[in-house]
Amino acid sequence: MICNSYVEVSEKKYASYESAVERARRIRYDNNSFTDYVPDEEDDLPPYDSAVMGNFDADVEVLIRVMKESEFQKEREEDEKCVERENVKDDFKKALKSEMVKLQVEASGERVFYSRLYPGIQIPAEFEFDESEEKDSFVLPTNACSIKSVMYKMYSEVNWKVLSGDEAMLQSSNLMKLLVACTSLEELYLRSTGWATPIGSKFFEGITDAAPHLGQTLKVLSINEYELSPSTLKVIGKHFPNLTRLDIANCFGRDYWSNSPNYHDHYYGALPYDEPLLECVGDLPDLKRLDLGDDLCFDYELTRNILWDVKKMVERVTLDSDNMPEPFSSWAQKDAARAKALHQIVENASGKYSEGVVKLAKKEL
């Protein structure tokens, strides 16, 4: 039987080793990955491995082997066991990370926490509303004046004019009614049903015009996954000067580089978000945390030098793929949390962890 990593396994069985070797040579001869292969005339026997040729043009390396069916079956069984072991290890890492994040959220004292990767660990805002699910069921909460945190998910396919800052649409929107009434609001989490939904400077200007108290009360603004233009970034800093956290993860767009009138300047160094980000952060003297996400493009959006400058201005700048809680305050606290997380996996009170994961946790203790 011939095992070829490029075509998997030959269905044909051969009567002798020699006939299988002849077929393996033919496969090698016909395969483009062995184009420059020069066989050893005295010892031209498999395995044939294109990787040892220095074949730099091949996207996929090919290994051709001749083996007995029993050998192949044994190797496949060993491979399956190896995959199973690795899957258990991967599940254990995910379980430990999840338990650690849960303890990290508790230790941070955060009042609100949202996460795509860890939905079971979320701490919801005092008031939540999702336009895409509840549509016309919005009712202004009677305790709006005392609400400290709000999560509002915009139905961007319908209310894109609100997000662009259309004055009439914005002023009559349920979101505006809510923000005007929430005179004590400290944390605002805006989400969208779409991806990279544009949100304009007139939107933020309209909000602070109708609800000027937000310029003083708002401490946390989270608008990750929206698309912010460089000019809109400047407006945020000007209108919400008391922010301690600004979450604009994955909000930068790449179109502003090629379409900018300053194309020549950008080509030689400056990028569209460089000066706006510096100005925004400079207008936020109390800013402790800035979330930029893991999708920054240093060729079209922000230069690395500016990112380094911003890191000197802000206590914590994150480049994570998802919202993460504040880190543990010390290594001792982190080690204690890890031990507690391992015990929670071993106890497996919820029954969600496999026997293999529990065994690995016991070994770590």
- The model's pLDDT over 22-52, given as tens digits with 9 standing for 90+, comes to 888 888 888 877 877 777 777 788 888 887 7
More confident residue, 336 or 255: 336
pLDDT in the model for residue 5: 47
- Which domains does the chain show, CATH number per domain? 2-67 (no CATH), 111-318 (3.80.10)
> Which residue reads 């690795």 in tokens?
86
Rounded distance between C-alpha atoms, residue 151 and residue 124, angstroms: 8
At 154, list the tokens.
């915009």
Condensed to tens digits (0 to 9), the pLDDT of residues 174-200 reads 999 999 999 999 999 999 887 778 899
Helices 69-108 and 331-347, interaxial angle, to 10°?
Answer: 120
The values of phi and psi at residue 198, to 5°, are -65, 140
Cβ contact 175:203 at 8 Å: no
> Which residue reads 């809680």 in tokens?
325
